[in-house]
A and B are shown apart, each in its own frame.
Chain A
Amino acid sequence: MKSPLARLSPGDRALLWRHLRTPVLTFLALLGLLGVIVALGATQPFAQAWIVELAVVALMVALILLVSMEVRREPPLIRLFSGIGFFWVCIMIGMTLTDYLAR
């Protein structure tokens, strides 16, 4: 691991860090959020833990979409397409629940 890095010139090392900073930071953030979910799931500290778990999942999903998949840097059309699927999932689940929650 050390030798290829050592062979890089200082300029290249700066370039490398500039390119890899975002992915590495995202990775660490995702690991941290996963840690929250796992800790809550393993310990079950209170009955409503699932709400927090799902909120953290939503955060992770948003992070992956916006940063890892670079939606924040895409034109509006791609942003629309990255969101429309989730909207349709809401339609599917919401309309189905009008049945199951009212039986």
Chain B
Amino acid sequence: MSASGTIEGAARREPHVPESTIGRKPDYLHAESTLRSWFFTTDHKRIAILYLTSITGFFVIGALAAGVVRLALIVPNGAIMTNDTYNKAFTIHGVVMVWFFLIPSIPATFGNFLIPLMIGAKDLAFPKLNLTSWYVFMGGALFTLVAVVLGGVDTGWTFYAPLSTAFSNSWVLPALIGVTIVGFSSILTGLNFVVTIHTMRAPGMTWFKLPIFVWAHYATSLIFLLATPVITTALVLLIAERAFHVGVFDPAFGGDPVLFQHLFWFYSHPAVYIMVLPGMGVISEIVPAFARKKLFGYRFVAYASIGLASVTFFVWGHHMFVNGQSDLASLVFSALSFAVAVPSAVKVYNWTATIHKGSLRLDTPMLYAMGYIGLFVLGGLTGLYLATLAINQHIHATYFVVAHFHYIMVGGTVLAFLGGLHFWWPKFTGRMYSEPWGRVSAVLIFLGFNVTFFPQFILGYLGMPRRYATYPPEFQLLNVLSSAGATILAAGYLFPMLYLVYSLWFGRKAPANPWDARGLEWETASPPPTLNFERPPEVPRIPYDYPIQATEAKDQHR
């Protein structure tokens, strides 16, 4: 523990006394200030900030498109905009949110910044590759934005053939190329994390002393490596078919579009865990810090991360129950899908067991974490409905599915992202944000989210299909409610953008460890120096060494 570690009791709630800076080397933010020093940096922390700013931009684009969709659905007859515009709006929303926000969100920003700090390393194993991955990301993003500016894409984020190859008259090709390129940036990031976690741990930092955040990112990185190349191939085949008529999916010649879906979902189902696992890592850091209690069942949470990353490769067919795949395949994929619930539940139970009899502080990050746990449970349980063959026939491709995955993606990942952003904001920037505003926004987002998406469960169950610009008039009340919720949600998103940016100049200086949290990232200054640690960090006896520790059946940290 550095200076603040010795402060106990109420004093830790007022962590606003800046630490002495005499004789300290400049931190990573102030070491150099030219544009060149940012755009050609190989410092993992600066690259994380580059990612953070760019994905925030994509989040705004994706959110605006969502706003357009919710605007269109206020009236049942599609009178507000043309059906074409509506199709393009939901496609842009999906493409940008999935590929340019959710997938890189937590790994490329927090993972990049924190993994070396948490394992006590100076940088990632391949710093230049790390910078390259950002440029590749921006290159792919450029193609996709070109597609949007030229007139948009209307295939949905899934690019199903033959719509995307033969029938769509929109700018599918640049969007496909953009998404293909972005895949390489994911692969490079995942590769860097895998190698870093294997080879760069500080002496004494054994696997079972690693924070769960690192375990979760290790599992995520394996998915990056094992799944992403398959969608690259699938997209290359689409590009070849659309651009050069070198097609293998074309039904006109006996090709099988379902095969595209197999390849697509072999990546895209595991991609759900690319989006979810890092969020679970964030929650596993926040919950112990604000319950003042050691993470319960550490080993089980760690194994559950690897378990989820493995099981997720066996369940992709549950996206394809009604497309004509064989009954045997549906049966196998359905049965295996239920297995996903086990490691997910292990995590949720261990977080709740950590909260149980902890000494709770409901600061902003913890509010987000609590919201996450609740919404993840709802999203996860509705997933079981969808994995059930008979019920799936009824609610397939309805708003029930839309609500389900938004509970996971927004209620889960976005809340974890915001929670983590607030938790580590002092570490990233050296400034404290406004706590009252933080709490107000967290509550607002939770409420806005539920008002937006809960009605969609009902709509879907009643039979409203997704991706249509029109719907029967009796669904209007619930749709208006959902759109109204979206405006609350938008306000909730807007506040952090304002007060966090404000804090960069006017926030109080943050101490090294404002939350009195455990983990090597809190042992160094806020913000950290360029090479992360002034002197080699000392690896703690056990991770999550908080004051309250429940007795467990087994030693979790051998």
Whether A85 lies near B326 (C-beta < 8 A) is no
CB-based A-B contact count at 8 angstroms? 40
Report chain A residues within 8 Å CB of B249: none
Report chain B residues within 8 Å CB of A100: 326
Whether A91 lies near B314 (C-beta < 8 A) is yes
Q: Is B327 an interface residue (CB 8 A)?
A: yes
Q: Is A88 an interface residue (CB 8 A)?
A: yes
Q: How far is the CB of A75 from chain B (nearest CB, A)?
A: 11
Q: Bound state CA distance, A102 and B329, in angstroms?
A: 8
Q: How far is the CB of B457 from chain A (nearest CB, A)?
A: 29
Q: Nearest chain-A residue to B324 (Cβ)?
A: A103
Q: Is B163 an interface residue (CB 8 A)?
A: no
Report A67-103 residues with CB < 8 Å from chain B CB.
Answer: 77, 84-85, 88, 91-92, 95-96, 98-103
Q: Is B325 an interface residue (CB 8 A)?
A: yes
Q: How many B residues touch the partner, as a band?
A: 10 to 19
Whether B328 lies near A98 (C-beta < 8 A) is yes
Whether A99 lies near B325 (C-beta < 8 A) is yes
Which of B198, B258, B314 is in CB contact (< 8 Å) with A77? B198
Q: Nearest chain-B residue to A77 (Cβ)?
A: B198
Q: Bound state CA distance, A32 and B258, in angstroms?
A: 40
Which of A88, A91, A98 is in CB contact (< 8 Å) with B332? A98
Q: Bound state CA distance, A31 and B332, in angstroms?
A: 42
Q: Bound state CA distance, A96 and B327, in angstroms?
A: 13
Report chain A residues within 8 Å CB of B454: none
B305-337 contact mask (Cβ, 8 Å, vs A): 1 or 0: 000000001101100000001111100110000
Whether A98 lies near B266 (C-beta < 8 A) is no
Report chain B residues within 8 Å CB of A88: 226, 313
B interface residues (Cβ-Cβ under 8 A, vs A): 198, 226, 230, 258-259, 262, 266, 313-314, 316-317, 325-329, 332-333
8 new A-B contacts at CB < 8 Å, known A77-B198, A95-B329, A101-B326: A92-B230, A92-B313, A95-B332, A96-B259, A96-B266, A98-B329, A99-B328, A100-B326
Interface CB pairs A-B, < 8 A, 7: A85-B226, A88-B313, A91-B313, A98-B333, A99-B258, A99-B329, A102-B326
